[in-house]
């Protein structure tokens, strides 16, 4: 792995219409996974260095989100129900309490915690990142719009060039990062 010196800056907004899974009703899903980026540079990987809200990373009223390595194809497959449980809901820890938290899922590589507004005005925004996670395919966000109409995000990534062997190992590592016997095939 060789650093290229290039940085990639992603920013945007995720609204309810961008949420792919889980889809429990018509277009009224307020929480779930939304794809935000696909890597089009073969032979390159990215290491996440910063997560925040946009336009201000320290915006007190920014909604929280989690950054994952699931791509759009993965998310469409995750929308299926197995044994009466929606896979995406279980992976995101939605409605399951601490029985299956997102921190237990290796494909959740970063989290940004915005303020709860009126409920906890003393709390500061913060981001936490798994700095050893290498992104080679895609990124998506887990969002919850129960209290906010949309999620603004800002992500900085450092680019690394990969040999063919490193790329294969990174792809295998990324796709095998599943939890609780839930697999995307």
- Please give the Cα distance from 152 to 160 (Å, whole number): 26
Distances in whole angstroms, Cα of residue 127 to Cα of each of 44, 45, 113, 184: 24, 21, 6, 27
Global pTM reads 0.81
- With residues binned 3-state (H G I as helix, E B as strand, rest as coil), the percentages for the chain, rounded to 5, are 20, 40, 45
| Tally of helices (H runs) and strands (E runs) in the chain | 3, 11
Closest alpha carbon to 152 in 7, 2, 10, 4 = 10
Give the residue carrying structure tokens 């935000």.
Answer: 36
The predicted model gives 160-175 an average pLDDT of 86
Residues 97-124: pLDDT tens digits? 434 556 667 788 898 887 555 555 545 5
Q: How confident is the model at residue 71 (pLDDT cuts 50, 70, 90)?
A: confident
167 pLDDT more than 50:
yes
**Which one has a higher pLDDT value, 183 or 139?**
139
182 pLDDT more than 50:
no
**Which one has a higher pLDDT value, 123 or 40?**
40
């Amino acid at each position: 792995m060789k650093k290229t010196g290039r940085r990639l800056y992603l920013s945007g907004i995720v609204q309810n219409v961008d949420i792919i899974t889980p889809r429990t009703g018509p277009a009224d899903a307020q929480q779930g996974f939304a794809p935000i980026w696909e890597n089009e540079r073969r032979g390159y990987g990215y290491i996440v260095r910063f997560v925040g809200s946009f336009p201000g990373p320290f915006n007190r009223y920014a909604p929280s989100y989690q950054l994952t390595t699931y791509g759009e194809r993965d998310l469409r497959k995750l929308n299926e129900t197995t044994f009466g449980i929606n896979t995406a809901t279980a992976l995101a820890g939605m409605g399951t309490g601490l029985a299956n938290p997102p921190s237990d899922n290796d494909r959740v590589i970063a989290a940004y915690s915005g303020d709860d507004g009126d409920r906890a005005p003393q709390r500061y925004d913060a981001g936490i990142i798994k700095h050893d996670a290498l992104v080679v395919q895609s990124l998506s966000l887990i969002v919850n719009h129960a209290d906010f109409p949309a999620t603004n995000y800002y992500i900085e990534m450092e680019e690394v060039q990969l040999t063919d062997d490193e790329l294969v190992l990174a792809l295998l590592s990324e796709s095998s990062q599943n939890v609780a016997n839930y697999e995307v095939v």
